[in-house]
Structure 1
């Protein structure tokens, strides 16, 4: 799935975040918002597995992401410490890679229609029409 979709979703999340949340990791916010819905379908262990795979795939592209950890409840930890060591563009690149990989895996495992429905339920104002076109392109490969 193109990085541009992940970038747009992260930008949408930044725009909708409350000021206190603005300094937190946007990718963590996206994952946290996806966690309850996906855990309902996949269970906590299933969500952890999908997120772990997304993190491994993102870590292959962005090596510093390999130090992040997934807690037992499926939440991510470790970026706070890294943000002090990395510049903002490196952090943004990693966040985009993680969200991109997570969305790609969702399309593979639950399909584009359910993925789009899930995204719309969480972010009703986010335009998913372009996502449908991008998902169709991805599935054709």
Structure 2
């Protein structure tokens, strides 16, 4: 499993991040959109796979993403499944690098979800987490390709 995020999943991740950034409150401005996406997915995923399972999934997403975006290798996943070091790194990077890193990270997380729970359950999880987000593009843009 060298790359869980297809180009279509990265495009989907980009749209999700744009939606999350636009829907955030001013108090959320200090947190990255990727942090908020992962944080919102934490609760339903912990119910599904437990804290250790969520942490493992997130750690694997970071490991896969850092192959493409080297600065992500410095991000650590804490015991509770939250990130450590993301805000400090983002303070040192330009907005383009941050955006690309967030897209790759969230794309990898979505790709792992598709691999482990399938596209239908992944879509359901996203819809339950962001009920006001129109995610009809999932069916149109994303086709799970077996390898």
* Structure 1 CA distance for aligned equivalents of residues 139 and 29 of structure 2: 28
Unpaired runs of 5+ in structure 1? none
Where do residues 107-118 of structure 1 align in structure 2 (5 Å cutoff)?
Answer: 107-118=114-125
* Structure 1 CA distance for aligned equivalents of residues 140 and 122 of structure 2: 13
The aligned residue for residue 61 of structure 1 is 68
Deviation string, structure 1 residues 72-101 (Cα, Å, up to 9, x no partner): 000111111112211111111100000000
Matched, 1:89 2:109: no
SS at 2:81 equivalent: coil
Q: CA RMSD in A?
A: 1.2
Q: TM-score, normalised by structure 1?
A: 0.94
The aligned residue for residue 74 of structure 1 is 81
Moved over 6 A (4+): none
* Structure 2 CA distance for aligned equivalents of residues 130 and 83 of structure 1: 29
Q: Which moved more, 1:108-117 or 1:76-85?
A: 76-85
Greater helix share, 1 or 2?
1
Q: Is the 8 A contact 1:116 1:132 kept in 2?
A: no
Unpaired runs of 5+ in structure 2? 1-5
The aligned residue for residue 44 of structure 2 is 37
Deviation string, structure 1 residues 87-125 (Cα, Å, up to 9, x no partner): 111111100000000000001100111111110011012
